[in-house]
Amino acid sequence: MAAGESFDVYRLPEEHEAIREAVREVCTAKVAPHAAEADETGEFPKASYDALRAADFHAPHIPEEYGGAGADALATAIVIEEVARACASSSLIPAVNKLGTMPLLLSGSAEIKRRYLTPVAAGDAMFSYCLSEPEAGSDAASMTTRAVRDGDHWVLNGVKRWITNAGVSEFYTVFAVTDPAARSRGISAFVVEKSDVGVSFGAPEKKLGIKGSPTREVYLDNVRIPADRMIGAEGSGFATAMKTLDHTRVTIAAQAVGIAQGALDYAKGYVAERRQFGKAIAEFQGIQFMLADMGMKLEAARQLTYAAAGKSERGDADLTYFGAAAKCFASDAAMEITTDAVQLLGGYGYTRDYPVERMMRDAKITQIYEGTNQVQRIVMARQLLKD
């Protein structure tokens, strides 16, 4: 074995590095300039979406057979990471498109995949994921949204809460109870279209961060859909939902890594320019220690995220553990890193004139959605004890 050859396993393939460069170029030119405005106005960053769609980064995970880029899980994570580095709200475009469509990829029929993945790949529609309810958050199996069979149709009634990109997305994966006596085994998954009669949306939530990504309730009032819009077999919905989250927690880890990288990048530039006591504050050891810790935590989070992405692509048996670990560790690290970035900027970091306060606010949600980090620790502990 040639010197250094054994270390190639730790290097990203050239095609993945090329993807990073391409996404960063697009984001620097066409996404980052809209980040502050999206945060200030709370409006969906349409210009960012158009830029990502033009470059085929809006839903890179969709297989080529449906017109998608066919990016593997690691490449998709890199796309989300780089978009989040520029704008966390915009990173939820590829992230939530994957979240919404993953149940179809895991459990859907060939026909339902062709019908709904094709327009998402083309950029003609987005896909959201409707699992949580007002009284069913971490305990998703307690959902009360019902789906009742009526001939060749299902009729859905209920309310879904905390739905990312609700109102903007055309399609929704909706989980509903089809057999109340069977608890989690009585939950099924369906595709609901925005245009279906009886579908409506609540007012946008007034959030701490990711303000450019609308979060709303989805109301289902006697929504009648064809039976062929069920995803997988009846009663398999909850299992599909949990398998989906195993894969998409990796995307939240990638988002957290990207937010943290953006904060570290900005803080490094600031401390090199800011002068006090006759020299750049980057020359002070206390500042250097903070930067060292930020960089160390960030790289550890990135490596764990990439390892989890590899397991997602292969469908490894320990994906549940690694997905939870990556999401939990990366989001905790992002919260610490962005908070430290604000501290490094001092009073300036506390103002909206500088981006790190936005990044700190955006980072917080990564500790909460797709399962709080307390739930992630429960998931990890159970996997460890089971093994």
Structure confidence at residue 5 (pLDDT): 47
Which residue in this structure is represented by tokens 């320019």? 273
By CB atoms closer than 10 A (0-12, 13-18, 19+), residue 201 is: middle
pLDDT at position 11 is 86
**Residue 114: which pLDDT band, with cuts at 50, 70 and 90?**
very high
Of the two residues 5 and 323, the one the predictor is more confident about is: 323
Q: What is the pLDDT of residues 314-361, one digit of tens each?
A: 999 999 999 999 999 999 999 999 999 999 999 999 999 999 999 999
CB 98 within 8 A of CB 163: no
- Per-residue pLDDT, 10: 74
Q: In the predicted model, is pLDDT for residue 194 greater than 50? A: yes
Burial class (CB in 10 A: 0-12, 13-18, 19+), 351: exposed
Confidence at residue 148, expressed as pLDDT on a 0 to 100 scale: 98
Dist CA 355 CA 303 (whole Å): 25
* pLDDT at residue 7, as a whole number: 45
Average pLDDT, the chain: 96
List pLDDT tens digits, range 227-246: 999 999 999 999 999 999 99
Q: What is the pLDDT of residue 9?
A: 54
Percent of the chain with pLDDT over 70: 97
Instruction: Enter the tokens of residue 69.
Output: 């880029």
Sign of CA dihedral 352, 328, 71, 294: positive
Is 299 catalytic? The answer is no
Distance of CA 122 to the CA centre of its chain: 20
User: Are the CB atoms for 55 and 22 separated by under 8 Å?
Assistant: yes
Of 133, 313, 357, 370, catalytic:
370
Asked whether the CA dihedral 312, 77, 299, 38 is positive or negative, the reply is negative
Confidence (pLDDT) at 277: 97
Residue-range domains of the chain with CATH: 7-121 (1.10.540.10), 127-235 (2.40.110.10), 238-386 (1.20.140.10)
pLDDT in tens, 68-98: 999 999 999 999 999 999 999 999 999 999 9
The average pLDDT across 365-375 equals 97
pLDDT (tens digit per residue) in 29-74? 999 999 999 999 999 999 999 999 999 999 999 999 999 999 999 9
pLDDT reading at 3 higher than 50: no
**Count of positions (residues) in the chain:** 387
Phi/psi at 235 (5° precision) = 90, -5
Model pLDDT for residues 119-157, shown as the tens digit of each residue: 999 999 999 999 999 999 999 999 999 999 999 999 999
Average pLDDT over residues 292-308: 98
Handedness of CA 154, 158, 163, 165 (dihedral sign): positive
Mean pLDDT of 2-17: 69
DSSP assignment letter at 178 = S
Whether 53 contacts 26, CB under 8 Å: no
